[in-house]
């Protein structure tokens, strides 16, 4: 299906397929391409409306009978780590952060494979080869960085964690992260989020975008453990509050048709007309 707005990006809908987060449900996504010269502005505006980037595409869930997936972000100014998160910071104090351009390496792919084999061996990315991995990292039309976390040892630095991070006009967006499974006991996944809060704070950016929070999903439940989290629900950002208040399901008749959803999307103002040479 294709839905368009005059002088606007084209929006498409994927065919329903099994949901990777909640058993017995079907997922469907609304998506649009990121055009070259307008990519940064479109990504900034749609990220504020619950969209996420994957390579050259922006998408958000648009399921026919479920509203479980909600974009989540941390308000940097209001965030303070709790006791367990402070322990994670101490446990990972040996990590050295380095921000690089979005360029895939063999070391990154080796770490990625160990992470998937340990935690997501039956997931949708389990069969990703090195060329697909490189595309995930490198195919970005916006300002992206690869944040590497390494340890120093007798044989030099060893890669321990990686996060592909987009820089938005109001925050940093954690597109995808992975880490050495041997550091799982040190809560390195939480540490990466905490470090991105510091990155955003240092850069004067108000938000850290975490991706989707899915109530009832063990894979996504950890995001509710962070303070100052807000979710995009009902067309606006609001405090997460008590996670138990979000059932993650809705009556099918209460979900607006795709055309109405598209009509309510706010787009960047038109670019000024350029004179012909």
- 173-205 residue pLDDT tens: 999 999 999 999 999 999 999 999 999 999 999
CB-CB neighbours of 187 under 10 Å: 19
pLDDT for the residue 192: 98
- 119-172 residue pLDDT tens: 765 666 778 899 999 999 999 999 999 999 999 877 778 999 999 999 999 999
Helix, strand and coil percent figures for the chain, each rounded to 5: 30, 30, 40
Domain extents in the chain = 2-72+245-263, 73-225
Confidence of residue 4 (pLDDT cuts 50, 70, 90): very low
Whether 270 has a pLDDT exceeding 90, the answer reads: no
- How far is it, in rounded angstroms, from Cα 213 to Cα 220? 6
Average pLDDT over residues 89-96: 97
Into which CATH architecture does domain 73-225 fall?
Answer: 3-Layer(aba) Sandwich (3.40)
The pTM for the full model equals 0.91
């Amino acid at each position: 299906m294709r839905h368009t707005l005059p002088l606007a990006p084209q929006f498409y809908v994927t065919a329903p397929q099994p949901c990777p987060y909640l058993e017995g449900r079907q997922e469907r996504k609304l998506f649009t391409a990121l055009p070259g010269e307008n990519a940064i502005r479109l990504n900034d505006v749609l990220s504020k409306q619950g969209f996420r980037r994957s390579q050259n595409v922006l998408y958000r869930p648009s399921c026919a009978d479920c509203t479980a997936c909600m974009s989540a972000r941390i308000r940097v100014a209001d965030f303070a780590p709790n006791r367990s998160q402070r322990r994670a910071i101490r446990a990972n104090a040996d990590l050295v952060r380095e921000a690089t351009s979005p360029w895939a390496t063999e070391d990154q792919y080796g770490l990625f494979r160990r992470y998937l084999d340990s935690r997501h061996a039956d997931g949708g990315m389990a069969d990703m080869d090195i060329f697909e991995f490189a595309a995930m990292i490198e195919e970005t039309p916006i300002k992206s960085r690869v944040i590497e976390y390494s340890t120093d040892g007798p044989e030099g630095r060893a890669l321990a964690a990686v996060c592909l991070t987009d820089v938005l006009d109001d925050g940093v967006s954690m597109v995808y992260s992975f880490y050495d499974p041997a550091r799982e006991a040190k809560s390195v996944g939480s540490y990466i989020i905490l470090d991105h809060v510091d990155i955003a704070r240092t850069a004067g950016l108000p938000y850290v975008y975490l991706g989707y929070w899915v109530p009832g999903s063990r894979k996504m439940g950890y995001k509710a453990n962070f303070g100052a989290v807000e979710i995009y629900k009902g067309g606006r950002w609001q405090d997460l509050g008590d996670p138990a208040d979000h059932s993650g399901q809705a009556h099918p008749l209460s979900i607006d048709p795709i055309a109405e959803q598209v009509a309510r999307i706010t787009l960047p103002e038109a670019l000024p007309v350029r004179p012909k040479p």
